[in-house]
Structure 1
Amino acid sequence: MLLIAMVGAGYFPELLRAQPAKGKIGYLHPVTINPNHITFSVLAGEWRRLGYVEGETVLTRSGEGDPQRLPELVRDLTGKGVGVLIAVGAQAVRAAASGASSTPIVAFDLETDPIQAGLIRSVARPGGNVTGLFLDTPVLAAKWIQLMREMVPALDRVAFAWQPSAGRSQLDVALRVAENLGVETTVLEFSVNDDFPSLLSAIAGLKRTGIIQLSGPGITPVAEKFVAAATQINLPTLSFLGEAARRGFLMSYGPNQRDYFPRAVQLADRILGGEKASELPVERPSKFEFIVNLRTARALNLVVPPTLLVGADEVIE
């Protein structure tokens, strides 16, 4: 009892620190493992909190924008004895699922319908070696369109900015939702290495168009370039990532990244602690954030409706 009381009072601070890691986590991103990247920085904070150390009990690999490298990186990580693999984005998840069938996988995939893709049997009980973070895209797509219509009452159509490397799952759902809502759409295919002014000029014209950027890894580092090109030709923009609005997008609506993203590491930690991926339910976000960038609104000569300002979790002046 005395020892418990002394620990609680802080006499042995080393006992209050994170406990030693239970095994190795592999982390695979198709584009970057830059410590400043939002996904990496949020997850790194969580695995450090839980006692994992990069280079020792967390092994990180990046495809550096080349999807052909992903299968090789999966083999490298499994060969180094990782007990669980966190795979970010649809491409990395597909590479992990096909190349590491005996390794538990925590998918960080905000683009794919996991049941339709055959990754899991159900959200509540995945049933195989894959669990993780997946979005409810139909609900989100309807919200994105609603916000764009409210922000731009004269809107004629929505352009879904889509990375083919992410797969068609999210795009097809968004197109169906738009059709059900009677909204005209066009698809803007892009990669993070594109010449954005040239790309976006193709959809500028007589029709008042709003761009909804679908999720995909590697978007955040190029958000400022993308939105600068869009604003130059008077195209309002919306992203699912809050960080994109902080970097200039007109709006964002999606999961609270700092609440949702750490759950990938928590799932990995539970798996290393003995729980089975097949029995760990898929994690859906429970907190969402809506951000409005007034600087961008002014640059687009838009008057933000009071209802949007009142409903915003964050307003960037």
Structure 2
Amino acid sequence: MKPRAAALAVALALFAAPVAAEAQPAGKLYRIGVLANALDIADGPSFEVFLDGLGKLGYVEDQNIVIEWRSSEGYYDRLPALAADLVRSKVDIIFATSLQPARAAAEATKTIPVVFVVTADPVGQGLVGNIARPGANVTGLAAYLPGEISEKIFQLLREAMPNVSRLAVLTNPANPVHRE
């Protein structure tokens, strides 16, 4: 399983387990808001895994869930309006695919649960209070944490690939975490 697909599956479990445990009334139609930067958010293989995982838990699109897809099409400045639109649509949960969508969703609502996936340094970026107990209505998966953890990652890379003399890291200069 690809790392992004695995992260989506874990995020799905974060969402679905509490919903299943609460024994919601039969026939309820859940509204899931997906907020992303990508152009093809509903067509990518990662979201096939997301939908398959929901299906395995008994959630089927257009039967007991409706997914509201929103994409900024790569323009971060559109995210706050898209997040506000999801809030106005009265979704039950917002699934944010990276840092900027997560930040926009967290700023748009303090009551609707926001689950982010593969977000870098959610504590340092102010999304959550800490990793163990995020608090508020925002939770998710961290792909990178600064300091000792990132140093440990590079140490493990050196041990796994001792003959590698150079390592390239691709980043997005518009992402504040990548500038650090």
TM-score, normalised to structure 2, is 0.68
The 1:74/1:144 distance shift into structure 2, 3 A limit, reads: same
Aligned ranges for residues 198-237 of structure 1 at < 5 Å?
A: none
The residue that corresponds to 2:59 in the other structure is: 51
For the 8 Å contact 1:29–1:61, the answer to whether it is kept is yes
- The aligned length equals 151
Calculate the aligned-residue CA RMSD, in Å: 2.9
Equivalence for 1:90:
99
150 and 84 in structure 1: CA distance in 2 versus 1, 3 angstrom threshold: closer
On the 8 A contact 2:30/2:91 being kept in 1, the answer is: yes
Aligned amino acid, residue 84 of structure 2: R
Is the partner of 2:30 in helix, strand or coil?
coil
Structure 2 partner of 1:42:
49
Where in structure 1 are there 5+ consecutive unaligned residues?
1-18, 173-317
Instruction: Give the Å deviation of 1:37.
Output: 2.0
The CA distance in 1 between the partners of 2:160 and 2:67, in whole Å, is 44
Task: Give the 5 Å matches for 1:233-312.
Answer: none
Match of residue 60, structure 1, among 65, 69, 86? 69
The share of aligned pairs that are identical, in percent, is 28
1:93-127 alpha-carbon deviations (Å, 9 max, x no partner) = 1111112233211111332x222222222323222
CA separation of 1:39/1:148 partners in 2, compared to 1, >3 Å: closer, same or farther? farther
Instruction: Give the conservation status (yes or no) of the 8 Å contact 1:120–1:130.
Output: yes
1:47 match: secondary structure: helix
Aligned equivalents of 1:66, 1:154: Cα separation in 2: 36
Q: Distance in 1 between matches of 2:119 and 2:95?
A: 13
Any gaps of 5 or more consecutive residues in structure 2? Answer: 1-25
Give the conservation status (yes or no) of the 8 Å contact 2:41–2:71. no
TM-score, normalising length: structure 1: 0.41
Q: Which has the larger radius of gyration?
A: 1
